[in-house]
Amino acid sequence: MPGEEDAHVDIDGERVHRALSALSDRSPLVHHLTNAVTTSETANITLHWGGLPVMADAPAEAADMAAGADAVLLNTGTASRDDIDAMIDAGRSANDAGSPVVLDPVGYGATPHRVESVGRILDAVDVDIIKGNVGEIRGLAGEEAAVRGVESVDEGDAIDGAARALAAEHDAVVIASGPVDVVSDGEAVYRVTAGHERMGTFVGSGCMLGSTAATFATLAHGDVPPLGTHTEAMLIATVAFGVAGERAAAGDPPGPASYRTAFMDAVAALAVEASGIDAAGRIHTE
């Protein structure tokens, strides 16, 4: 991971604004092999952040598309064995191209198939970022976790150790999403206090965070990357995602569908004008 030797990051609102401007300028291509339930949501949020989404999950072309992408997202939410084969091909292609790979192990621990599938990916592909809910991250770290279907029913206590251990094991940056998001690079652990409880009232917000992570990961790559590390990119991504959720709730939409629309609008607005974000006040270290 480029530049990951420095575990300390210093992020303020201006840094977030520059990152969002860089996404608009670069329009990175983000290749999704993703959850069939949330394809529209993940494509749209990638677009609203300034990226270009593509959903080419056919085994015949997954690797070829990944070779030309700026980042690849592997989301196992509805993956069959053939889908996992395509994900592995795409992940390896991205590794060869030097592009970041983000793994979203949706529902890990719920069934043997999901455990086996995620294990196959991790054995075959070098992943740069692992984004999951508390139950998924705990399970991947070898701890006892509570997952029901694809949802975590874990209370989230002491997730810091699991996030740090998982990041160290895979030389990756880990995002454990929850009421307070935890980000770790295997050494430092950061807690991000941004977001709103209404973000959990519609299906797809977790997958959208995975797409957000993949889009922002591109900023730590390229000949002159705007960001030096994946750690910095993921902290900015989680702050921006959470602030958009707060701004969407500020208008008090009457229901979950209208809130989802307001959230998408807030992302698009934030990507254009990121003023007023107290990023430094949202990120806390141990």
Known binding residue 234? Answer is no
131 labelled binding-site residue: yes
Strand extents, DSSP E, the chain: 29-33, 52-54, 71-75, 101-104, 129-133, 147-148, 151-152, 173-177, 181-184, 189-192, 283-285
Residue 139 annotated as part of some ligand binding site? no
What interhelical angle do 205-217 and 230-250 show, nearest 10? 140
Give CB contacts under 8 A, 24+ apart, made by 63-66: 63/89, 63/90, 63/92, 63/93, 64/93, 65/31, 65/90, 66/31, 66/90, 66/91, 66/93, 66/94, 66/97, 66/99
Helix residue ranges, H only, 196-282: 205-217, 230-250, 256-272
Cα 186 from Cα 7, distance rounded (Å): 9
Beta-carbon count within 10 A of 146 CB? 14
Name the burial class of residue 246, with classes exposed (0-12), middle (13-18) and buried (19+) by CB atoms within 10 angstroms of its CB: middle
And the tokens for 271? Answer: 């990507």
Q: What share of the chain is helix, strand, coil (3-state, %, to 5)?
A: 50, 15, 35
- Alpha carbon distance 79, 138 (integer Å): 21
Annotated binding site for ATP: 131, 177
Q: Residues annotated in the binding site, as ranges?
A: 55, 131, 177, 204
Residue ranges at the known binding site for substrate: 55, 204
